[in-house]
Structure formats: structure tokens, C-alpha cells
Amino acid sequence: MVMRRTLVLSLIAAILAAFSIGGVALAVGGGGRVVACFDKNSVRFVDDASQCKDKEQSISWATEGTTGATGATGTAGATGPAGATGPAGATGPVGATGVGGATGATGVAGATGATGPAGAGALWALVRSDGLLVGGSTSVTATRLRTGVYQVSFPQNVANCGDTITAAQYAGAGLIGINANTIDPPGLDRSFSIYQNLGGVNSIAVGERDGSGALVDGPFTLVAHC
């Protein structure tokens, strides 16, 4: 019994010596164990104990011991260098419109512009009942054609102008129209018709009528708005 134990210990020592010099290729059997066959003179490694010869005995042991306890956590290593900047992400959606700011102060008033050119003078005529031009704009003429019918001519085309006519009263020498008393204007029942004179685009024909509709002579003021 002592001799057998001595032999086993000698075999184990031989195996350890083989491990230490790295000259033995171990055959690892099932379950992660090393299997060997030995007799009193030699030892050999096999894949399985069934490969041992009649005069050999088998021996096996685990290739790894029990996992030991986890060691203490080592100190953290130094921080590595920053990685390269990644590509820009997609543009996000447009945000909501913010609240409008307060109205700014009123700016300083600009300088007054230059005075524009004078406009054309008004085209007008004050005509006496007998057709005489008592007053009017430059180059205006007036003519009595017949009872209650007059023609007033202007120095320009008045075909597209707006016309205004009113009964007139005036003071002057000779035939003075309807009433010489300028302090007490008369109450007149007069109506007028104005139309483009067929004789030319510079002339306006005027018809004056009383309350009965009959043509009558009478003074008037005519204004052409062009």
C-alpha cells in the first residue's frame, strides 16, 4: 500500500515537471479533465480512461480549479483622448414665432419738400344777360346767340371738364343784369342746361330758363373744372 502511494506521488511529480517545461501536450477529456494511464515504469496521457491497457491504471484531474473570489476593483485609468467630432445632425423644426416687440419711437419728421409749381388758373366766366363778359379767366369770350342761349369759349379743350353754373347778380354801368341792388339779392327761379358746343371742343353752350321752362335772358357764372 505504501509502495502504491509512493508510485502515485512519483507520477504526479513527473506530470508537474512536464507542465513546467512545456514539453507535454495534454489531452483534455470530457468535462475539462486531464486523463493519464500509468504503470510502475511510465505514464502517458490519453483522451479517456478506457484507453488504458490491462496493466495500466488511470488517473484524472480537473484542468481548472474553483474560481476564486473577485479581486478588488483597480484604480481608474487615465481619460483617453477626445474622439473626432461626429457629423452635424439634421436641422430641427422651426420654432414658434416669438411675441412681437414693442413699437419703436416715432422718427424725426422729414424736411418740408419744395413748393410745387403753380397749377393752372380756374377757367371761369361771369356773363351779363346781354352776353357781355363782365369777368373771367384769361382769353375767355362770351356771346349771346339768341334769347336765353349763350356760348362761352375757353383757350383750351374743355370737352372732358366738369362744369358748374349759377345765376349771377352784379353791379356795373349800363345793363347790370337782374338787380342792381347787391345788398338785397333777388329770389330767382332759374334753371340752366349746359352742353358741349358742337362748334368746337373749346366752347360750352348754355341755356337759361324761367320757372315755366321758357328761354329767358339772364346773367350767370360758369366754371369749368379741368
Q: Quick one: pLDDT at residue 21?
A: 47
Model pLDDT for residues 49-97, shown as the tens digit of each residue: 788 887 788 887 676 767 778 888 889 888 889 889 989 889 989 989 9
Q: Which three cell numbers stand for residue 91?
A: 436641422
- Dist. CA 47–CA 93, nearest whole Å: 69
Q: Quick one: pLDDT at residue 140?
A: 97
Ranges of residues in the chain whose predicted pLDDT is under 70: 1-32, 61, 63, 65, 115-121, 169-188, 198-199
Full DSSP string of 43-75: EEEESSGGGS-TT-EEEEEESS-PPPPPPPPPP
**Segments in 118-172 forming alpha helices (H):** none
Give pTM, 2 decimals.
0.45
- Alpha carbon of 29 to those of 49, 52, 63, 70, 204: distances in Å? 9, 13, 10, 28, 136
Q: Quick one: pLDDT at residue 176?
A: 47
Do the Cβ atoms of 149 and 195 come closer than 8 Å?
no
Element of type H or E holding 37: strand 33-38
- Dist. CA 145–CA 151, nearest whole Å: 7
Q: Quick one: pLDDT at residue 174?
A: 45
